[in-house]
Amino acid sequence: MNAADRRPAERAAFRFLASFDAGANRLYGWRANPLYQSGTIVVACFLLMLLTGLWLVLFYRVGAPYDSVARITGDRWVGNWMRGVHRYASDAAVLATLVHAFRMFAQGRSWGPRALAWVSGVVLLGLILACGWTGYVMVWDTFGQSLAREGARMLDALPILSEPTSRAFTGERPLPPAFFFLNLFAHIGIPLAMGIGFWLHLSRVARPALLPPKPLLYGLVGGLVLISLALPIGMLPEASPFHAPAMVRLDLFYAFWLPFTRWLRPGPALLLMIGSALALLSVPLVTRRRAAAPPPSTVDEDLCVGCEQCAADCPFEAITMVTRPPGGRSELVARVDPARCVSCGICAGSCAPMGVGPPGRTGRDQLSAARAFLDDPARRSGEHVVICCDRGAERWGDAIAAEGAAVLPVDCAGNLHTSIIELCVRGGAAGVLVVACPPRDCWNREGPRWLLARVYHDREAELQARVDRRRVRVTYANASEATEVLAAYRGFVDDTRPLGAGGADPGEVGAECEPVAAEEQS
Amino acid sequence: MSASQSWRATVGGGTLALAAMVGIVHGSQVPVALDPGTRAVVRVAFSARPERIEICRTLPDSERLALPAHMRQETACEGRTAHYHLEVRRDGQVISADLLRGGGLRSDRQLYVFHEVAIPRGPSEIEVLLVRVDSVPPRGSAAPDAADEARAAEDPMRLRRQAGEVPPRLELRARVTLAPREVVLVTYDAESRRLLAVQAPPSP
């Protein structure tokens, strides 16, 4: 995605996010950066809630909701911290969901084929909040009562119920166990519905990461247990229809809206809630690119050798292999589903014969651009070439260039074709430093992972063995990590200085990728 | 990363994680004054069947026989439910007034009342008045129709319904002393057909 094509709000959000990411990388490293793992943290919290919830429901009584929760809370050995973990995990889930949503917005990953993930994510957030709502009502303390009454008040604004639901909480008669049974049913049923939401949310991505890396997972679970033990959860006074509590301890993650809506009439309060939900749902429309959306990948069937690598690498399952009509060069040919393709270009890097990729960003297009870059009279033999994405180049490209590097910005380092690296080395560069986003921060999901595999582990469209690996390095940095990139660059220059300038005729590189060569590979 | 940098990152990361956890705990229980005032509340909440204003006529045989067998009744009644005026006073001052009509789109269901009015704490004299606004034609009293009794006999459901209707005028006068944020509930008892003031049972 072209950085210039992004709206000011998105650019500002991205700068903000990148700064936080950089700080978290320094503290936790990119592998365990919790900001990169916001989505998987939600899943981990969800599983934690399921486990603790299953235990808690064994001791919950719909006939005596408050007393049964008080009994659970009074059990210092298990009940108290189990309830604490259940509650704090649900809070952490909301927090992580908000970070995740902000991340997708800031990185412009909320529209086009990704709109389904955004919309299902908003629905999931709504379900999490609704589930928390029912969870607090289950306790039937002053906070639960406030939530129930406020919910009923807004529901009464709808002209569909002749009897106001608020009357259930007036004290005319005790609340029946059926109310708490229904509430418990909803509290258990909503997470089941969320399973469908999760499936939809992940339905357009290949190999979704569901859990955070182990150190982060253990840290999260351990931290929640520790905090539940150290700061044990308490009980608020029992709900009473005859006493309005002076002070309520609100869970701001779930009831942030309560202090505001209470001062509004039910109709406007309900409209505010519905309006907020619609505003969130409409983000894919608002963030849609003003200019034409980047076109989906296309396949040059004359070049395609049916190797299936692009289908295997596509992070969005947008490429399938179909049987080619008889007489073709291979049995199978790649086919791109434009409805699923986000134009990430990962396939461009995975195709050895350079036959697939978004128009203008295929391996061949990258090669042409790199040739033009190397043909620039300003280029000197023995230079170090730094290949990085547009976003990185925008932030620290000048600083690297000031160190003497030749900066070659590309759309995404993750869809870099390894031939470009070879072209640079054989064109006389002393070394090629590829600066990619940290793997969990890749806008195109799996770019750095495949890049590394192609450069060092012979994954298809691999960097040829003839390229001296000492002259090539892949490093990770986000757009705000200028210091880290400079340090990596200086270290790379020091390491490659004894090697001198690279060499050989760069013109040979293109021939490697001609269809004939690809045919030989197959 | 050098050893000292790694150590600093570990300490910093751990501290930040702990701070985030503590932040979650505190965010999970933020004290908020939802009802900051010291006022008490009069809550008028009840449901009651409104009187039905009907015009009944005796069906002629020709009309009656045209109906399906199970619908052949002596009388056919058409009408609507009555409207009521609700007024709540404190120490003689009107603090809430409303025109009540039956629930549902056709206003043919029960009256559902839910009003909350804040009043100063302390002793108050609360008066609640519910008065039918519409006039209802007398039911078989002034000029009894000859077929009244027969009709009544064939329509016990109507009689039962009439017995459950709210009286045309209800009045409650109660002297209460309310603590801050305490609620006095004024409700309707369908059995005794009168308004009641209910306060919280005293704490044990």
Q: What is the structure's pLDDT at B1?
A: 58
Which residues lie below 8 Å from residue A233, measured CB to CB, with a gap of 6+?
A73, A80, A83, A84, A87
Q: What is the structure's pLDDT at A518?
A: 34
The answer to whether the CB of A169 falls within 8 A of the CB of A96 is no
Range of the domain at A121: 27-286
Residues A362 and A259 in one domain: no
Report the percentage of chain B scoring pLDDT > 70: 86
Residue A245 to residue B183, Cβ atoms within 8 A: no
Confidence tier at B189 by pLDDT (50, 70, 90): very high
Q: Give the nearest chain A residue to B187 (CA atoms).
A: A172
Of A88, A163, A219, the CB nearest to B28: A88
Q: What is the structure's pLDDT at B147?
A: 53
Helix axes A65-74, A79-106, angle to 10 degrees: 100
Of B21, B25, B112, the CB nearest to A163: B112
Q: How many CB atoms lie within 10 A of CB B128?
A: 24
Residue A95 to residue B24, Cβ atoms within 8 A: yes
How does A88-106 read in b/e, with b if 16+ C-beta sit within 10 Å?
bbbbbbbbbbebbbbbbbb
Residues A384 and A268 in one domain: no
Selected residue with higher pLDDT from A500 and B182? B182
Q: Give the nearest chain B residue to A254 (CA atoms).
A: B28
SS3 label, residue A367: helix
Whether residue A301 is contained in a domain is answered as: no
Residue B36 to residue A246, Cβ atoms within 8 A: yes
Confidence tier at B137 by pLDDT (50, 70, 90): low
Say which CATH number the domain at A415 has.
Answer: 3.40.50
Residue B34 to residue A28, Cβ atoms within 8 A: no
Running along chain A, 522 residues long, what does each successive block of 10 average in pLDDT?
A: 67 91 92 94 97 96 96 94 97 97 92 92 97 97 94 88 84 90 96 93 93 94 95 93 90 94 90 95 86 86 94 95 88 94 94 94 94 88 90 88 93 92 91 92 90 94 92 92 93 90 58 37 34
Last residue of a domain, one of A238, A261, A286: A286
Q: Of how many residues is chain A composed? A: 522
Q: What is the structure's pLDDT at A241?
A: 92
Of B16, B47, B185, the CB nearest to A163: B47
Residues A363 and A261 in one domain: no
Closest Cα in chain A, distance from residue B44 (Å): 9
Confidence tier at B203 by pLDDT (50, 70, 90): low
Q: What is the structure's pLDDT at A121?
A: 97
Whether residue A322 is contained in a domain is answered as: no
Answer whether B75 touches A (CB < 8 Å).
no
Residues of A (248-267) whose Cβ lies below 8 Å from B: 248-253, 258-259, 262
Q: What is the structure's pLDDT at A4?
A: 54
Answer whether A19 touches B (CB < 8 Å).
no
Q: What is the structure's pLDDT at B145?
A: 54
Residue B144 has pLDDT above 90, yes or no: no
* Residues on chain A touching B117 (C-beta within 8 angstroms): none
Residue to test with chain B: of A170, A238, A263, most B Cβ within 10 A: A170
Residues A90 and A184 in one domain: yes
Max CA-CA distance within chain B?
Answer: 109
B13-24 average pLDDT score: 93
Query: How many domains does chain A fold into?
Result: 2
Residue B185 to residue A224, Cβ atoms within 8 A: no
Domains and CATH numbers, chain B: 39-52+81-198 (2.60.40)
Q: What is the structure's pLDDT at A515?
A: 36
Whether residue A35 is contained in a domain is answered as: yes
ipTM associated with this complex: 0.85
* B40/B53 Cα distance (integer angstroms): 38
Residue with tokens 């705990």: B25
Answer whether A241 touches B (CB < 8 Å).
yes
Comparing CA positions, the residue from A286, A283, A325, A280 lying closest to residue A302 is A325
Answer whether A237 touches B (CB < 8 Å).
no
Selected residue with higher pLDDT from B22 and A161? B22
Confidence tier at B72 by pLDDT (50, 70, 90): confident
Say which CATH number the domain at A70 has.
Answer: 1.20.810.10
Answer whether B9 touches A (CB < 8 Å).
yes
* C-alpha pair distances (Å), A507 with each of A107, A364, A425, A433, A501: 37, 13, 12, 21, 17
Residues A470 and A366 in one domain: yes
Residue B201 has pLDDT above 80, yes or no: no
Residue A252 to residue B30, Cβ atoms within 8 A: yes
Q: What is the structure's pLDDT at A292?
A: 67
Residues A54 and A175 in one domain: yes
Which tens digits make up the pLDDT trace of A282-322?
999 988 876 667 899 999 999 999 999 999 999 999 999 99
Residue to test with chain B: of A94, A99, A154, A242, most B Cβ within 10 A: A242
Pairing of strands B40-48, B183-189: parallel
DSSP string for residues in B101-155: --SSTTS-S-EEEEEEEEE-SEEEEEEEEEEE-S----SSSSS--TTHHHHHHH-
Q: What is the structure's pLDDT at A390?
A: 86
Last residue of a domain, one of A286, A310, A325: A286
* Residues on chain A touching B103 (C-beta within 8 angstroms): 162-163
Whether residue A332 is contained in a domain is answered as: no
The answer to whether the CB of A42 falls within 8 A of the CB of A100 is yes
β-partners of residue A435 are: A388, A475
